[in-house]
Chains A and B, each alone.
Chain A
Amino acid sequence: MAKRVGIEVSIAVAEAVKLADVDLVAAYPITPQTHIVEHLSEDVANGKLDAEFVPVESEHSAMSCCCGSSAAGARTFTASSSQGLSLMSEILYIPSTMRLPIVMVVANRALSAPISIWNDHQDIMVQRDIGWIQTFAENGQEAFDLTLHAFRVAEDRRVSLPMIVNIDGFTLSHVIEPIEILDQEEVNRYLPPFKPRYRLDPKKPITMGPVGIPEVYTEAKVAHDQALKASKKVILKAWDEFAELFGRRYQPVETYRSEDAETLLVTMGSISETAMTAVDAMREKGQKVGLVRIRLWRPFPAQEFRKAAGKAKVLAVIDRCLPPGAPCGPVGEDLRAVFYKVPGAPKIFSFVAGLGGRDVTVETFEEIVEKAQAKARKRPRELYEVIGVREK
């Protein structure tokens, strides 16, 4: 039976990985992801987890190792953050078009310079287009559940794509929360053994990762794109089954008090909890404010988002990433595309908040809503605004 325990979220994620009975963990420790792989290395050393633990010399090698492992047919896990994730970048594109179902948890963290170990989403937005399935967890329970969900989806033979679970560094990874940890039998019921479509086997040789001359490269990329889009069905089905077995229901897009809302906040990750408190506070004051939270980031659930946004007139999108020189933050950009030429579409305003560990408080959300509503009355010149930046 599942047990509810007070546990650090990183350790809960490691527990999920252990319950998934992975075959290989490649790890290079980088703050704030460290506790996850640290705990897994202990489990391997203590004989609680029968897996190869490969302490590589960089994240570039960690992902290379994962590619080899997954190609050989092993259930494969790693975790990363920030500059480490960037160091992996070259390799991240490989398992996705090559259809290797690696699971990675990213404890999101700011990028240098200046050096910052604190949380925002800039590290993953750099990697937005690597072609992995990506989800964002809001709390510890989600981090645990989504990790198991990731193995289930990634390794499904119809999907066979790598998958990232994003958890906010420190603000989520290092907090202790009451989390229901499933037991082995329950996990076994949800997660079948990994049976790859193809694997490297000397007895049945195949080549993975050949040269793609101009005549095939486009087709290979389109096949990948289509596979990523088609994975949504399996993602939803796996969430449905999770709900049937364990009672917790997840959706690609979630709403909070949005039914009659005129202004909707749009968030991803753990700030959504504060956003809900802010919505409650603003509702008390009689404002028609609600929240839409994106859980599935890639493939982007455009249809579900349009439905979730309902009849709202204003969307206040919070990006935790400042893309210098770009017209708008990445989430804001996606939503503008999602609503482009949709009749009756809400006005979309982008805000950048919570960079490099800056607190996003209830007041921040109230300020954002106020600003969005003011912008909706005028024609604002700028396409996004950085919240809480000191001018002098």
Chain B
Amino acid sequence: MAKTDAIIGWKTITFGCHVLEPGSTAKFRTGDWRSQRPVTDREKCIKCGMCWIFCPDMAYSQTEDGYYVADMEYCKGCGICAHECPKDAITMVPEE
């Protein structure tokens, strides 16, 4: 939940704190507390898609030329993609 949306009074907060609109997380940046980000070395990448499969946040999507890029709006920096990459193509680098 993004901060801007969360500034809400007790009278206007949804009943039972339910989220009444499906897919509303699409509107929020959920990866802004990440301390590391994955960086892919395209020289090593074989486009196998393991990072895309394993990312628990479904942050990866495929580019037109077959590579995989993680969306930094959603990446939590967990490092699973780097761990699973069979070619060690992904390096986790500290967020500035």
B-binding residues in A (CB < 8 A)? 97-100, 160, 197-198, 205-213, 215-216, 218-220, 222-223, 226
Contact in complex: A208, B1 (CB < 8 Å): no
Decide: B1 and A222 in contact? CB cutoff 8 A: no
Instruction: Chain B residues near A205: list those with CB within 8 A.
Output: 22
Which residues between 30 and 52 of chain B lie within 8 Å of chain A, taking CB atoms?
none
**Do B15 and A99 touch (CB < 8 A)?**
yes
Chain A binder among B3-11, B53-61, B62-70, B83-91: B3-11
Complex interface: chain A residues within 8 A of B16 (CB): 97-100, 160, 198, 208
Q: Number of B residues contacting the other chain (C-beta, 8 Å)?
A: 17
User: Smallest Cβ distance from A210 to chain B, in angstroms?
Assistant: 5
Assembled-state Cα–Cα distance A87/B14 (Å): 29
Q: Is the interface of A mostly helix, strand, loop or mixed?
A: loop
| A99-B15, A211-B1, A215-B3 given; A226·B20 CB < 8 A | no
Given contacts A211-B1, A213-B1, A213-B6, contact A219 B19 (CB under 8 A): no
Of residues B15, B16, B21, B22, which shows the largest number of chain A Cβ atoms within 10 Å of its Cβ? B16
Q: Are B13 and A219 in contact (CB under 8 A)?
A: yes
Asked whether A98 lies within 8 Å of B19 as measured between CB atoms, the reply is: no
CA distance A67 to B16 in the complex (A): 13
Do residues B10 and A212 form an inter-chain contact, with CB atoms below 8 A? no
Nearest-CB residue, chain A, relative to B1? A213
CB-CB nearest in chain B for A222 = B10
Interface residues of B (CB under 8 A from A): 1, 3, 6-11, 13, 15-22
B19 contacts across to A, CB distance below 8 A: 206-207, 210
**Measured between alpha carbons, how far is A129 from B77 in the docked complex, in Å?**
38
| Cβ A219 vs Cβ B9 within 8 A | yes
With A215-B3, A216-B1, A219-B9 given, is the CB distance from A206 to B17 under 8 Å? Answer: no
**In the bound complex, how far is the Cα of B18 from the Cα of A160, in angstroms?**
13
Tell which of A98, A99, A160, A223 touches B10, judged by Cβ atoms closer than 8 Å: A223
Instruction: Please judge, given known A-B contacts A99-B15, A211-B1, whether A219 and B8 are in contact too, CB under 8 Å.
Output: yes
Q: A215-B6, A223-B10, A226-B10 are in contact. Are A198 and B15 (CB under 8 A)?
A: yes
Bound-state CA distance A277–B40 (Å) is 82
- Contact across chains for A197 and B17 when beta carbons are under 8 A apart: no
| Given A216-B13, A219-B13: A198 in contact with B8 (beta carbons within 8 A) | no
Would you give the shortest CB distance from A231 to chain B, in whole angstroms?
A: 14
